[in-house]
Chain A
Amino acid sequence: EAGVVQSPRYKIIEKKQPVAFWCNPISGHNTLYWYRQNLGQGPELLIRYENEEAVDDSQLPKDRFSAERLKGVDSTLKIQPAELGDSAVYLCASSRQNNEQFFGPGTRLTVL
């Protein structure tokens, strides 16, 4: 079974630039999550999708972050404009029915 796929793996941008991350979950997993992980911390949820519906986006900074999951499969997370404090690893995970989660390799974002 293929795992969660994310791209790009690394991204370096200057502040105020836009950036987008892509995630393809494990086949058959209806729940998709985007997390942000800072060094020395655990992942923090940004948004959770059940199929194509965003059921929890309470931690998503909506002034600059947006996400979509068209057709309930792939998802993209966008930041526009990026700030220095957005430097982190952005992790995508998927699960069946919001249970045990499986993570992708993450995108390491550096904002200069």
Chain B
Amino acid sequence: RKEVEQDPGPFNVPEGATVAFNCTYSNSASQSFFWYRQDCRKEPKLLMSVYSSGNEDGRFTAQLNRASQYISLLIRDSKLSDSATYLCVVKDNFNKFYFGSGTKLNVKP
């Protein structure tokens, strides 16, 4: 079983739509959680950290559900420029990072 699992997608949505991704993790003792964004043939870039209380950054909202061992990312009012692959990242209790395989988002005009 993979440490971090994501739906690969693609999620095809029109501009202005709201879209949500989930990511599950297997180690209940995991400590830290992040969402990264990766454009085609580019490096991953930190989108946001995910805190226990949830956090919001503009159109992006991240939530953590420790009981069910998943994190989510909600994107409101999707823009064409949001098209990318979104990587879920988990740091376990041994300080090791695990990346999901990513969820591909296509925002269409």
For residue A61, CB closer than 8 A to chain B, the reply is: no
Q: Does B59 contact A (CB under 8 A)?
A: no
Contact B32 A99 (CB under 8 A): yes
Give complex CA distance A98, B93 in Å: 12
Cβ of A25 to closest chain B Cβ, rounded Å: 13
Q: Is B46 within 8 A of A105, CB to CB?
A: no
Selected interface stretch from A13-21, A37-45, A64-72, A76-84:
A37-45
CB–CB A103/B44 < 8 A: yes
Q: Which residues of B contact A48 (CB under 8 A)?
A: 96
Secondary structure of the A side of the interface? loop
A56 touches B102 (CB 8 A): no
Given contacts A43-B99, A45-B96, A100 and B34 within 8 Å (CB-CB): yes
- State whether B95 touches A100 (Cβ < 8 A): no
Query: CA of A106 to CA of B46 in the docked complex: distance in angstroms?
Result: 15
A26–B63 CA distance with the chains assembled, in angstroms = 29
Please give the distance in Å from A37's CB to the nearest CB on chain B. Answer: 8
B43→A105 contact, CB < 8 A: yes
**Chain A contacts for B101, CB-based, 8 A:** 40-42
Out of A42, A45, A56, A103, which one reaches B43, CB within 8 Å? A103
Contact of A106 among B34, B43, B91, B96 (CB under 8 A): B43
Chain A residues with a Cβ under 8 A of chain B: 33, 35, 40-45, 48, 56, 91, 98-106
Please list 17 pairs of residues, one from A and one from B, whose beta carbons are closer than 8 Å in the complex, sorted by A's number: A33-B97, A40-B101, A40-B102, A41-B101, A42-B100, A43-B44, A43-B87, A43-B99, A48-B96, A56-B95, A56-B96, A91-B43, A98-B95, A101-B97, A102-B46, A103-B43, A103-B45
Given contacts A91-B44, A103-B45, 17 further A-B contacts (CB under 8 A): A33-B97, A35-B99, A40-B101, A40-B102, A41-B101, A41-B102, A43-B44, A43-B87, A43-B99, A98-B95, A100-B46, A100-B49, A101-B46, A103-B43, A103-B44, A105-B42, A106-B43
